[in-house]
Amino acid sequence: MKYFKYIALILMGNAFISCSDFLDPTPSSSITTDNYYTTADELETGLIGVYAGIKGINSSSKDDNHGVQWEFYVTEMRTDNTSTKSPDSEDASDAGQMESFAVLPTNNFVLNYYTSSFETIYRANVILENLDVVEDEATYAAIEGEAKFLRAYSYFHLVRLFGDLPLIDQVVDPSDVETQFTRVDESVIYDLIISDLQTAAEGIADHGYKTRASKDAAKGLLAKVYLSLETPEYAKAQVLCEEIMSSGEYDLLDDYYDVFYSELNDEIIFAIGYNSGIQDNSQIFSAEFMNAVGHTSGVNYATTDAKAAIDEYGGNRTEVSYREDPLTLFGGTIRYQVGKYFPDGETGGSDGQTFTGLPQLAGNDWIVLRYADILLMHSEAILAGAEETTSATAIDSYMEVRSRAGFEDRPTRLTKDALLVERRVELAFENQRFYDLVRFNEAQSTLSAFAAANGFTFTSTDLLLPIPQNEINLSQGAMYQNPGY
């Protein structure tokens, strides 16, 4: 019994010593964005996640962010280029609202594009927030550049679609209602876009991937930003285009078909990559453009207006750009399908619906920026808002694109109208038409005439999409709607 106090002492001592970390473990199941990133490698995996935001989820759920997969709804289908399979001014569905310029603030495609884009911006901001874990200077600049490119890419689309926007240039707390819902002037958004793209053009490493942002992708996008400003910076845009042109890295392909069906070719500067047959990595838009192959009965069909323009100015691009829907060959109204994105190159057999692979899991990349676009932007920058130009360099770039299409009739002067038409047919169904019309100050006149001829009602306020009603409601009165909605 006399040892009792010693035993008690030892036990007490143990109690003090052994409790060191056993009761205070690092919880291994709760990795959050706040504590995950500890190395440059981890940050780089996060960066891939930002691209995934643009790539979008291949599903039929309206709640998933579909990113660029649903972009055609809010861009191409709001022009004279495409419509639903059966255009109808009475069609009040979400897709039907687009073609008839009768978009409602509750439109789901509008909401989806808005939230997808801000999700990408959020993810980019997370990467930028965690940059301090990178020690190597070049790696730091490369990751910063790519993240800023992606943020600028998303904002550039949003600002042209919605006008004034909330400025989210850092990770914001969900409770910070003011930052999330206060719309700032377009020019402030453009300032951020320009500075982001300048950083990107400086810092991005030469990684050799065309499905990731490169220095040239940043320069090309920045050139387009300069052309899109309220007071365009034509000279800066021209210099950027010339830097890309003289790099010798890019070339027009001889065969227009190969631009779309041999992926990552010499003409591509930046594309969103997809892989065929894998749910998580494939895209749905190729199937949606077919007749009842995707989740819809068929959307983004070429209008007769677009067909007429392509027939007249397309040259050898015509047969690649669209085709007659095979299902209408057996009777019924003749309709035209977009020909640039057949699922994995399969045209769907005699009825356009029979595929050996899985058309809903298509792997066609989405081309964001290609060399023909750069050449035509070069001409546009030299034209500098004038009616026409005799500049030989402007006509050279224009003719480079034209001669690939089989035209050799070199004009002595290049007019703005000719350039706009050339962009329409060269870049048809590539989600450029809407932005081109706005940039050339031709949106109101062209779309008014198109709407009148097709029984739709277009007013100039339709050029800006409505801020999604969801956002207006969540903002508790802080967010105002665009005029006309």
Partner 1 sequence: MINLKKYIIGTGITALALAVSLSFTACDPSISALEFDLPEANSQEDLTPPTASFTATVSSDYLTYDFSNTSASATDYVWDYGDGNTGVTVDGVNTYPAEGVYTITLTASDKLGKVDSYSMDIEVVEPEVPAAIYPEVLNGDFEDGTTNWKPENCTDCSTNAFNSSSDGSPLLYDGTESGASKTGGAKYTSSTSAGANLSSNTRYGYQAIYVSPNTNYILEYEYAIKTDNEDVDGGDRAIVSILDGYYDDAAVAAASEPLVSIVGDEASGKGVFDTVKQVFTSNASGEVSILLYAITNDELYIDNVKVYPVE
The string of DSSP codes covering 319-340 is HHHEEE-GGGGGSS---EEE-S
Q: Which stretch binds partner 1 (CB under 8 A): 176-184, 303-311, 360-368, 456-464?
A: 456-464
Q: Is 271 in the site for partner 1 (CB under 8 A)?
A: no
- Select the residue interacting with partner 1 from 60, 350, 461, 473 (CB under 8 A): 461
Task: State residue 225 phi and psi, 5-degree precision.
Answer: -60, -45
Q: How far apart are CA 270 and CA 147, in angstroms?
A: 15
What size, in residues, is the chain?
Answer: 485
- Select the residue interacting with partner 1 from 59, 89, 391, 403 (CB under 8 A): 391
Terminal Cα-to-Cα distance of the chain (whole angstroms): 90
193, 214 contact by CB (below 8 A): no
Q: Is 465 in the site for partner 1 (CB under 8 A)?
A: no
Q: Quote the least distance from Cβ 52 to partner 1, whole Å.
A: 37
- Select the residue interacting with partner 1 from 45, 247, 350, 441 (CB under 8 A): 441
- Select the residue interacting with partner 1 from 102, 167, 239, 245 (CB under 8 A): 239
Closer CB to partner 1, 59 or 391, in the complex: 391
Q: How far apart are CA 155 and CA 161, in angstroms?
A: 10
Chain residues 186-225 in contact with partner 1, contact rule CB under 8 A: none
Q: Is 390 in the site for partner 1 (CB under 8 A)?
A: yes
The string of DSSP codes covering 420-447 is HHHHHHHTTTTT-HHHHHHHTT-HHHHH
Chain residues 329-388 in contact with partner 1, contact rule CB under 8 A: 381-382, 384, 386-387
301, 334 contact by CB (below 8 A): no
Q: How far apart are CA 87 and CA 303, in angstroms?
A: 9
Closer CB to partner 1, 263 or 442, in the complex: 442
Q: How far apart are CA 155 and CA 165, in angstroms?
A: 9
Q: Quote the least distance from Cβ 254 to partner 1, whole Å.
A: 25
Among all chains, which residue has been given the structure tokens 């480079």?
400
118, 162 contact by CB (below 8 A): no
In the chain, count H helices and then E strands. Answer: 20, 10
Q: How many residues bind partner 1 (CB under 8 A)?
A: 28
Q: Which stretch binds partner 1 (CB under 8 A): 40-48, 127-135, 346-354, 460-468?
A: 460-468
Q: Which stretch binds partner 1 (CB under 8 A): 8-16, 162-170, 337-345, 392-400?
A: 392-400
Which residues of the shown chain bind partner 1 in the complex (CB under 8 A)?
Answer: 235, 238-239, 242, 381-382, 384, 386-387, 389-394, 416-417, 441-442, 444-445, 448, 459-461, 463, 483-484
